[in-house]
Amino acid sequence: MVMMPPEPPSAALRLAIDRDALKTNWRTLDALSGSASAGAAVKADAYGLGVDVAMPALRQAGCRDFYVAHWLEAQAALASAPASAIGVLHGPLNAQDAAFAVATGLRPVINSLDQARLWAEAGGRCCDLMIDTGINRLGLPMADLGNPLIAALQVDVLLSHLASADEDSLLNPLQLARWQDARRQVAHRRASLANSAGITLGDAYHGDLTRPGIALYGGVPCAGLEGTVRQVVRPEAALIQIRTLSAGDSVGYNATFTATQPMRVGVISLGYADGYLRAWSGKGMMLAGERRLSVLGRVSMDMTVIDLSAAPDLREGDWVAACYDLPRAAAATGLSQYELLTTLGRRFAR
């Protein structure tokens, strides 16, 4: 008799994802993009949410263009969108990458003359082209725009990327002017410059396609988006032990918290291995409904201790939610809103 394996144990961590908020954020950014359409940056596994969760919701909202960084990310994204809708920002690094793009129909983003050559040798057709207008990361130098290898490309989206869109910087209009110059020199079907913050800089920056990332997922990268972006992600953890401290008892590594009176505390199955980093030590806050439960002592790899004084009814196995509004969380920890999302680990059920 063949024994069926038992059902796997339930997760002690889960990532609550508000798909309606994600859709609303995309629609808001699409409207702010004016006559341009909003795409979506879904690199880093959709900024930690999971492409299998985020991309279907974004497609339901109306998004039709997606960007990943790596080819392995592109392979995962193919389950949620047609290949022609997915651009791979790092471009082909070798003949194998180029052959994979040709075979699947994915759009490589060409960043250099060497990548343009690889694409041509592979028999590649439609692609995107990244122009470096001042961020000095990936991208074709402006001096190479007239090269015959570039003239031979069939460019769908001519891209560049803003370095300082989240602040009032002289680099913004300089990059805009260079991008507009590139548009005049290179034949293309569509053009794209603005990221989340760049959308707020005005119509001149929008082109045909904007590429929001952090704002889709609840981040507020600039003042122009305050009050318009909804929170999408909330980490939740189960209580795995409840205990009572006596006055003088310390908590966690290096005894950074000491109880001054008897108190009821809980251990939750959340730690820095899950992306709830040590920056939250003594600063973090959990919620049980509307009740606020402070993090006590140092965050450990797999566990965090919280004060249950305000929630005497909680029992082992109950769930609490982390206060994780991204702008406030960034201010509290000194971490960037991007780090707060992309470090969330794979132990979360999504």
Domain end among 194, 225, 256: 225
Same domain, 182 and 216: yes
Same domain, 338 and 209: no
Catalytic residue among 43, 47, 217, 338: 43
Angstrom distance (rounded) from CA 89 to CA 137? 12
43 is catalytic: yes
Provide the terminal-to-terminal Cα distance of the chain, rounded to the nearest Å.
35
Give the pLDDT confidence score for residue 7 in this predicted structure: 78
Domain end among 172, 203, 225: 225
Q: Following CA atoms 292, 293, 294, 295 in sequence, which dihedral angle do they give, to the nearest 10 degrees?
A: -140
Give the pLDDT confidence score for residue 9 in this predicted structure: 78
Give the pLDDT confidence score for residue 39 in this predicted structure: 98
Angstrom distance (rounded) from CA 35 to CA 328? 32
Same domain, 216 and 97: yes
Is 1 within a domain?
no
Query: At 79, which CATH number?
Result: 3.20.20.10
Give the pLDDT confidence score for residue 10 in this predicted structure: 80
Please tell me what DSSP assigns to residue 9.
P
Catalytic residue among 47, 205, 217, 253: 253
23 is catalytic: no
Domain range enclosing 246 = 235-342
Same domain, 242 and 219: no
Same domain, 260 and 217: no
Predicted TM-score of the model (pTM) = 0.95
The DSSP H or E segment spanning 314 is none
CA distances from 279 to 23, 95, 96 (A): 30, 43, 41
Give the pLDDT confidence score for residue 2 in this predicted structure: 65
- 261's tokens: 């009176």
Low-confidence residues in the chain, pLDDT < 70: 1-3
Residue that has been written with the tokens 């954020």 in this structure: 25
Same domain, 66 and 191: yes
Give the pLDDT confidence score for residue 1 in this predicted structure: 62
Give the pLDDT confidence score for residue 350 in this predicted structure: 87
pLDDT of 1-23, one tens digit each? 666 777 777 889 999 999 999 99
Report phi then psi at 199, rounded to 5. Answer: -60, -30
Same domain, 188 and 239: no
